[in-house]
C-alpha cells in the first residue's frame, strides 16, 4: 500500500531562485508540484523525502530558467488487488459505504457488505441496516475489507472493497463471532 519510490523527472528552476541552494530549490519545487498528485505508474505521491541526484542545468532558448534532471525519493500510496486493509467508515449511501484506507477512500458496494441485504435505515439517517440480522453500519465504524479492484490513472484512484469472506467485516462483528466460538 505505501511504498518508498524513486522518481525521475525534469524540474524547471525559474531565474528568481538562482541565488538559493539548488538542493533546497529542487526539493521545494518537487514538493509543491507533486505532493498529493496521482500518477498511473506510482499512485499518489504522499510526501517527497529527499532529492538524490541533480543534473547540471540546461537552458532552453526563449526561457530564462534552467532545467535539471532529478531523482528523488517519495512515499507513494498504491492500492493492490487482494490486499486486506482496515479503515473507518466515512460515509454511507443507499448503494454502500466509503471507507478511509490510507490517504483515500474506497467503496464497499451494498452487494459486497455481507451475504444479506443491507439498506438505509428509515429511522436513522446515515445508517445501513442488515435485513436479516439487524446489524448496522454507520460513519465511524471500523471495518476490514479486501481490495477487489483498484484503478489508478493520472487523475484519480478508484478502489472497490469487499467485506465478504473469512476475517472480513466490521471489527465489532468479527469480535462478536470470535467470542461466540
- pTM score: 0.79
Please enumerate in sequence order all residues whose Cβ is within 8 A of that of 16, keeping only pairs 6 or more positions apart, or say none.
none
Q: Where in the chain is the domain with CATH 2.40.50.140?
A: 84-180
| Residue 76 CA, distance from chain mean position | 9
What local confidence, expressed as pLDDT, does residue 174 receive?
A: 82
Q: What is the tens place of the pLDDT at every residue in 61-100? A: 999 999 999 999 999 999 999 999 999 999 999 999 999 9
Q: What value does the CA radius of gyration of the chain take, rounded to a whole number of Å? A: 22
Q: Does residue 85 contact residue 169 with C-beta atoms inside 8 Å?
A: no
**Distance in angstroms (rounded) separating the CA atoms of residues 162 and 159:** 10
Cell 505508474 locates to 41
The pLDDT of residue 180 is above 80:
no
CATH 2.40.10.10 fits 84-180, yes or no: no
Q: What is the tens place of the pLDDT at every residue in 131-142? A: 999 999 999 999
- What is 2-77's CATH number? 3.30.1490.120
Q: Where in the chain is the domain with CATH 3.30.1490.120?
A: 2-77
| Residue 70 CA, distance from chain mean position | 25
Q: Does residue 112 contact residue 97 with C-beta atoms inside 8 Å?
A: no
Specify the range with the lowest mean pLDDT, choosing from 5-9, 54-58, 83-87, 171-175.
171-175
Q: What is the tens place of the pLDDT at every residue in 24-37? A: 999 999 999 999 99
Amino acid at each position: 500500500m505505501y511504498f518508498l519510490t524513486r522518481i525521475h523527472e525534469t524540474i524547471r528552476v525559474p531565474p528568481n531562485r538562482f541565488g538559493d541552494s539548488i538542493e533546497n530549490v529542487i526539493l521545494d519545487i518537487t514538493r509543491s508540484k507533486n505532493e498529493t498528485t496521482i500518477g498511473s505508474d506510482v499512485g499518489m505521491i504522499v510526501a517527497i523525502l529527499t532529492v538524490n541526484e541533480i543534473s547540471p542545468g540546461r537552458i532552453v532558448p526563449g526561457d530564462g530558467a534552467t532545467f535539471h534532471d532529478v531523482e528523488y525519493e517519495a512515499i507513494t500510496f498504491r492500492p493492490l488487488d487482494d490486499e486486506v486493509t482496515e479503515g473507518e467508515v466515512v460515509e454511507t449511501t443507499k448503494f454502500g459505504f466509503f471507507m478511509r484506507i490510507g490517504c483515500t477512500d474506497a467503496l464497499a458496494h451494498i452487494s459486497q457488505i455481507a451475504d444479506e441485504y443491507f439498506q438505509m435505515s428509515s429511522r436513522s439517517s446515515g445508517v445501513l441496516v442488515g435485513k436479516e440480522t439487524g446489524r448496522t453500519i454507520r460513519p465511524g465504524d471500523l471495518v476490514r475489507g479486501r481490495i477487489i479492484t483498484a484503478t489508478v490513472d493520472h487523475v484519480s484512484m478508484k478502489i472497490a472493497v469487499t467485506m465478504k469472506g473469512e476475517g472480513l467485516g466490521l471489527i465489532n462483528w468479527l469480535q462478536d463471532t470470535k467470542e461466540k466460538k
